[in-house]
Amino acid sequence: MSSPFNISKPIAIGSDHAGYDHKEELISFLEAKDLPYQDFGTHSKDSVDYPDFAHPVAKAVETGAAAFGILLCGSANGVSITANKHKGVRAALCWGEELAKLSREHNDANIICIPARFVSEGDAEKMVAVFMATEFEGGRHQGRVQKITDGC
C-alpha cells in the first residue's frame, strides 16, 4: 500500500502509561498507511515518567532524524512542556482536528501532543492524519514562528 502522505523519514512516537493504548492504535494506523515510524515507548501500561519518552521523541525531531513526532500522555501538558525544551521543536497540544490543522498551518508545529484521557483513539487518528497532511502556510505566520526562536 502506498502512503498518501509525503513523508520519507520515520515518525517518532512515544507515550507514558496513560497514552499507551492510544500509541498502540496510532502505530497500527501508521502501519496501515505504510508510514515509517520509530517507537520510543513506553511498551506497557506500567507507570512511567513521561519525560523518559518525550525527550527521545523531541531529540529525533530536533536532529532531523524524524519527519515529526507524536507524543501522548494523560493531559499532554507534560509531554508538550518537555518536548518544547528542545531547540527547534514546536510541540503543540491538540485535542481536535482543527487545532491539529492550525498548529501546522500557523505555528509550523513539528510534534503533535495528544491528551489520551480526553480524546478517543479514533479522534487521535484523525488528528494525526490532519497534522501529517497539513503544510505550514508561511507568509504572515513566518515572522511569528521565527520570533519563537529569536526570543531565546
Question: What separation in angstroms does the CA of 109 have from each of 45, 71, 85, 105, 134?
Answer: 28, 13, 14, 8, 10
Distance (Å, whole) CA 19 – CA 42: 9
Taking each continuous run of H as one helix and of E as one strand, the counts in the chain are 6, 5
Q: Is 106 a catalytic residue?
A: yes
Q: Is 113 a catalytic residue?
A: no
Report how far apart the first and last C-alpha atoms of the chain are (Å, whole number).
43
Instruction: Confirm if 109 and 103 have CB atoms less than 8 A apart.
Output: yes
Residue from 140, 15, 123, 129 nearest 73 by CA: 15
Instruction: Please pick, among 17, 73, 86, 94, the residue that the annotation labels catalytic.
Output: 73
Q: Can you name the residues that pair with 53 across neighbouring β-strands? A: none
Q: Which residues are catalytic?
A: 73, 106
